[in-house]
Amino acid sequence: MFAATKFTPTPRKLRREKTTLSSNSDCDKEPVHVYCRLRPLSENNEATPCVKLLSHQELSLMYESKGIRKEIRYKFKHIFTAYSTQKEIFDHVAYPLLEDLMKGKNALLFTYGVTGSGKTYTLTGEQNNPGIMPRCIDTIFNSVGEFQAPKFVIKSDKMNGFEVQTEDDAMQDRMTEVRAKSKTPKSARKVNGDRLGDRFSYANNGMKIPLLNENSLYAVFVSYIEIYNNTVYDLLDEPTGKSLQNKILREDSQKNMYVNGVVEIEVKSAQEAFEIFNAGQKRKRMGCTALNAESSRSHSIFNIRVVQLEQIMWSNGKPTVPDRNLITVGQLSLVDLAGSERTSRTQNTGTRLKEASSINNSLMTLRTCFEILRENQRSKGNKMVPYRDSRLTYLFKSYFEGEGSVQMIVCVNPSFDDCDENMHVMKFAEMSQDVKIVKSESKNIMKKTITRNQTPAKVKIGGFTILPDIPIGKFDIENIEEIGTYIEKVGRALKQRKAKSKTVDKEIKEASDDFRKRLVELNQESVLSKTEIRSFKQVIHKQRQKTQNLEIKIKDLETVNADQASKNDELQDVIRSLHNIINEKDLKLNQNILEKEKTKQKIALASEKMSQELDAKLRKQREHLNAAMKAKDVQLRKVREILNTETIVATVETPAETENPLMQTPKSNIDHLHRRNMASSTPRRRRSRSVGDVWLEHNSVKPVPLGTVLQPTMKKRKSVTKLTKASDITNVKQSKYCLLAQEQDIDGEVETKLYKADIVPTCGGGAQVIFNDVERLRQESPTS
């Protein structure tokens, strides 16, 4: 028979969340052990991986920056390659934690990495190839199978503690459980997802943990929770309606965080634990993203607690509990963190975007807590650690403050697509290894000392001491001797009762003191609970006020949004009208451009026609000049004949009838040759030169340099090679026009002709070019 007892250490005042690591010596600290596991590349990915293994503790990460490939090296406690088996990871990482668990030590193991890097597979694995969690459960039950306490002898007190019940109470609880299962119909079990409804198991390799205390009884408890959108849910709790109720986090008397009202189930076999895990896994929130078909949308925590009832005495093959007894509790928390991801890659929207934001915020808070812990250790500071910013860090606050060892498995997908995310994961892992946690041995020894000295668990057998009964007999007046004998027996009984009454009084006093002490503790817990309830009510009241204010702001913003929408519609109408105006103007511009093109074509045709007409006129003038020159040549021949016959000719007549009115030619070259001997009968006609005339010199071809002494003289002139626009002629400052042309004469000599004209403005705003003179410059041999 086990007497009921409950472990409730003396509560202490609440404290602030701050690291206590700086107060311990470095010899009592151990760093956070960080392991790395590389996932095999997928069959479709034939590219070179971005991760290169250098040794069993070091790897390098390749990445590209501005077209240059760079490399960063990272170190871990151990690196598991893509060919490492699940058993190898369990033996190296989880088995030492199980050895500490059986000794009453706490441990936290969580997997960290990007989405699709193999975190869930590392923890759970497959049925034929189990991961860390199934192997831990199998190993525990392989070791404590024959040393388990009867069910419900050790029972949770719903406040993160345990109590020992009597065998009668345990039997009643077992009967209640059987009756409750018998009343539940099978159809309801299927609908509600009964824990034992589906048979689910993993392969068992038969591994055991040696060095167990055979004088102890063991009980194994499991719980399964998730943190979704920074809210805690119990996956083993029966849902009220369509969804699970959110749970709150509380602090027990030892300042350890726990989930208030969590369902903690005592399991007696690995099969039962697997079925409970499978039932909770069906309620876990999963989702499909662009990176993973089944992605965890929450952080899941599977807790295994092993309770050890120490100092059990064995009598006739049955366990008995001595007067003084200790309960040791060890906890192993296996955390499957949701994958860190970028929304640009996952393309999440709506609910998935909110989930991804919550996941990234909680992981960022975890990084921030680790950074501040490392900073406090390096600088011996006491900076506040923001545990309360996330439910994830707030739940595991006690681990970070030294209530157990912390280990991490970083899962890496070596694909180049995950290179940027892997770099952030590696940086966090490298920083985590610099954080040191107080060794769990020191904390457990101190905890045991407190338990033995302050709150020993006394278990009495049989209750209070029983006083001797007073004998009862019948008196016979005739038999006086029997009366005397009876009186002697009564006297001895009274003496014995008087002697044992002191022991009974002492026991009663001890029991009353213990009961009073229990009442005081319960009162203190009640006061703390009321204080917490009061604070929670204040927080809820503030949250309600905040919610009301936010609702008011939302309404105001909706009104502003409606106004902005109406203004936007008005602006859209204005934009449409402006677009119409722009289109009309574009149409007009296009019409103007077409008209200009037509005008240019007309001008080009007119200029071409003018040039043809000018060429025809010049051709006629050239023919007329050639005829005149021939006539002059005839006259010169006659003059030569006269000179040869030494006949003095007084005058030389110039042909008076010239067909070209524009050309008034000077005397022929023979006049220049013989001007000593002869006088011209007709004086040379010269044109007056106006000082203020501005000439437009038109060089249609590039002239050959003139070797003559006489050169064209135009003081004010503007030279052009081609008449491209009307303004070249219509310029009001220009009054004279000169066309420069060069050609070969009959003898092959270069002859330069200057066609001179006046520029006369017309009534329509244009100008008319009237040719009135031609000057020729040529060189001849004097003996030709």
* Binding-site residues for ATP: 113-120
The residues, any chain, with a CB within 8 Å of residue 474's CB and separated by 6 or more, are: none
Residue with tokens 């030169």: 689
Query: What is the residue-wise DSSP string for 577-629?
Result: HHHHHHHHHHHHHHHHHHHHHHHHHHHHHHHHHHHHHHHHHHHHHHHHHHHHH
What is the C-alpha to C-alpha distance for residues 775 and 751, in angstroms, rounded to an integer? 10
Q: How many CB atoms lie within 10 A of CB 767?
A: 19
**738 contacts 687 by C-beta, under 8 angstroms:** no
Q: Which residue ranges make up the annotated binding site?
A: 113-120
Nearest alpha-carbon partner for 335 in 308, 309, 358, 366: 366
Place of tokens 């105001």: 556
Cα separation, 12 vs 218, in Å, equals 29
With tokens 């006739």, the residue in question is 316
> What letter does residue 91 receive in the DSSP assignment?
I
How far, rounded to the nearest angstrom, does the alpha carbon of residue 68 sit from its chain's CA centroid? Answer: 23
Strand partners, 726: none
- Find out whether 7 and 163 touch, Cβ atoms under 8 Å: yes
As a whole number of angstroms, the distance between CA 387 and CA 397 comes to 7
Amino acid (one-letter) located at 192: N
b vs e for 46-62, b when ≥16 Cβ sit within 10 Å of the residue's Cβ?
eeebbbeeeeeeebebb
Q: How would you list the strands of the sheet with 5-6, edge to edge?
A: 5-6, 162-164, 154-156
CA end-to-end distance (rounded Å), the chain: 159
What letter does residue 745 receive in the DSSP assignment? -
- 3-state class (DSSP) for residue 205: coil
**Tokens standing for residue 736:** 């004279």
* Cα–Cα distances in angstroms (integers) from residue 90 to residues 132, 491, 579, in the given order: 6, 73, 70
For every residue of 652-671, DSSP letters joined together read: -PPPS--S-SS------HHH
Q: Residue 222 corresponds to which amino acid?
A: V
